[in-house]
Structure 1
Amino acid sequence: MTATITPATTRAIFAIGDERSAKHVVDLLTESFFEGQAAIAAFERPDGRWDISVHFAEPPDQDAIRDLVQLAAGDAVVESIVFDTVEAKDWVKASLEGLVPVRAGRFIVHGAHDRASVPPNKLGIEIEAALAFGTGHHGTTRGCLLLLDHVLKSKAPARMLDLGSGTGVLAIAAAKATQRRVLASDIDPMATRVARENARLNGVGNLVESICATGFSAPQFAARAPFDLVLANILANPLRQMATPLEAHLAPNAMVILSGLLLPHTTGVIAAYRARGLVLLRHLRVEGWSSLLMQRAG
């Protein structure tokens, strides 16, 4: 994949003592940034400690980052944080090292280095790391793919939307599985370009229309609605705020897959969509994150 990305990025690196603490820090940092603002990774070292790296699309407020880490991990970890600047090509390559294919139902998300290992009875989705959110290795992405696989076992949606598409992994999965068109939108122009390139890489460039849009303001939403299936892997606050306009773009009995939710925030999102006439069908918990399958009442 050839992507237009920022030539250099600011990085914060630090180590933490155990897996539980590492996950807590990663969850807090992930919830604190919008899609495309930061790429966060945690890897276990041979000595049992965890290395955490955060790559920022724009130079961050370093004091604010330290405050977040202090809240989650204490003073000792904060004192170990190092900020530096690295070339994007260096960290993209490094972020792929050690990433294994992610299996979710019929889907396998993988990098180019694992292309040959996808079984013939699975749908491979090739995604390379970039500054756009979503290599497929996050619990929210896997939860969405599992719910998408579940939906497609009984339905073949004709009109589909991937809202907050990031690298386009969910739109590509839906297009590959159904061979039908998918509208993919993101507020980040870079993510839009990456999603478009990934769709071409995966042979569905003719099926995935990737647009840069805020909310539902772009004319493509009205032109393609009403949607039979919406996938929205974003964050809790934006999901609550867009409950009303999202519902207005749904067909009767439409399915909606929502994710990007830490467990404590799930109840509020469910309530917001129930108030718009959607019912909860399934709730998956993957790596401390919630993914919801809801349906609009017919």
Structure 2
Amino acid sequence: MTTFTALTTLKGKEPAEALGAAMENLLPEPTGIGVFELEDGSGIWEVGGYFTQAPDEVALALLAAAHGAKDFAISELPETDWVAKVKRELAPVRAGRFYLYGSHDAESVPEGVEPLLIEAAMAFGTGHHGTTLGCLKALDRIAADGHEALPVADIGCGTAVLAMAAARIWPGTMIASDIDPVAVDVARANAKANGLTDRMLCIEATGFDHPDLAAAVPFGLIFANILKAPLIALAPDIAGALKCGGFAILSGILNEQAEDVVAAYAVEGVIVHDREEIGEWTTLCLRKT
């Protein structure tokens, strides 16, 4: 099915949200609307809509003018079988002892690895992104050094691949939490696909605001593969939830942002154990002193 996109930018959160709300009244109706802040500190927001019919260019031009936005850029997207495309492009990934694969590559799993099945349609958190790959490699190094960093929490878990990786090598129940209920459903589905349902507690939570997380404190290892700003905001909570000697594996951090995150955690007594850059992304493995 052919789809169309209409994208624009403007300054400020409130005007962007107002424009997004106004787009809901368009005919033909958009099948989805997104309002996002650009992560460059400019204060510029992007507003976009997806359509299954060609959008009304005149109506979009009037909306842009009324809300002080740039003219919408309208594009027609070709018909694409996205799952087939993902299957072609997301080849299996080796991250230390861990081997991440889709069901279409089940025959490729080699001997002597810790396999993790992530379905192709669940593309976020497959290990192909430098952030997820960096976290898995950091976990592998901790385990190779003889640490059994329990209990484990995966905050902002997405597919829960990080919590599942910990469950592959250590005993006990891993907690995987996300603010998005859809992500929690995906996490549960992946746990089931990997035979880890009884080893994973998948919960919807904002940060550490959940009784199951509170009951498990202090943690030996906390994963947080999110973004710089929430990582810095969570620094006191993560530090407070760690055991003395416990680890925090953090990513979602652009290389040029890493020192700001390091500084925020150093104030809380959580300092660099090791770090790795993969492409434009840094993964920090920190330890509570």
Q: Give the whole-Å Cα distance in 2 for the aligned partners of 1:59 and 1:183.
A: 32
1:190 pairs with 2:154? no
Alignment of 1:158-237 (within 5 A): 158-237=150-229
Q: Give the whole-Å Cα distance in 2 for the aligned partners of 1:107 and 1:274.
A: 30
1:82 corresponds to: 75
Amino acid at match of 1:122: V
Give 1:60's match in structure 2, choosing from 17, 31, 34. Answer: 34
Secondary structure, counterpart of 1:60 in structure 2: strand
Secondary structure, counterpart of 2:236 in structure 1: helix
Question: Would the alpha carbon gap of residues 83 and 191 (structure 1) be closer, same or farther in structure 2, given more than 3 Å must change?
Answer: farther
Secondary structure, counterpart of 1:230 in structure 2: strand
2:21 corresponds to: none
Shift of 1:93: 3.4
Q: Output one character per residue of 1:60-114: Cα deviation in whole Å (capped at 9) or x when no partner.
A: 2598268xxxxxxxxxxx9987255979xx4233222221111110001111111
Larger radius of gyration between Structure 1 and Structure 2: 2
* TM-score of the superposed pair, with normalisation by structure 2: 0.74
Instruction: Say if 1:132 and 1:194, in contact at 8 Å, map to a contact too.
Output: no
2:138 corresponds to: 147
Q: Which runs of 5+ in 2 are unaligned?
A: 7-30, 37-44, 49-70
Secondary structure, counterpart of 1:231 in structure 2: strand
Amino acid at match of 2:173: R
Give 2:85's match in structure 1, choosing from 84, 88, 94. Answer: 94
User: How many residues get paired?
Assistant: 234
Q: Which runs of 5+ in 1 are unaligned?
A: 1-7, 14-56, 67-77
Question: Would the alpha carbon gap of residues 61 and 293 (structure 1) be closer, same or farther in structure 2, given more than 3 Å must change?
Answer: closer
Instruction: Say if 1:136 and 1:142, in contact at 8 Å, map to a contact too.
Output: yes
Higher relative contact order (CA 8 A, sep 6+): 1
Question: Would the alpha carbon gap of residues 261 and 120 (structure 1) be closer, same or farther in structure 2, given more than 3 Å must change?
Answer: same
1:270 corresponds to: 262
Q: Give the whole-Å Cα distance in 2 for the aligned partners of 1:285 and 1:11.
A: 36
Secondary structure, counterpart of 1:121 in structure 2: coil
Question: Would the alpha carbon gap of residues 160 and 85 (structure 1) be closer, same or farther in structure 2, given more than 3 Å must change?
Answer: farther
Question: Would the alpha carbon gap of residues 11 and 133 (structure 1) be closer, same or farther in structure 2, given more than 3 Å must change?
Answer: farther
Kindly report structure 1 stretches of 4+ aligned residues shifted beyond 3 Å: 10-13, 78-81, 83-87, 129-132
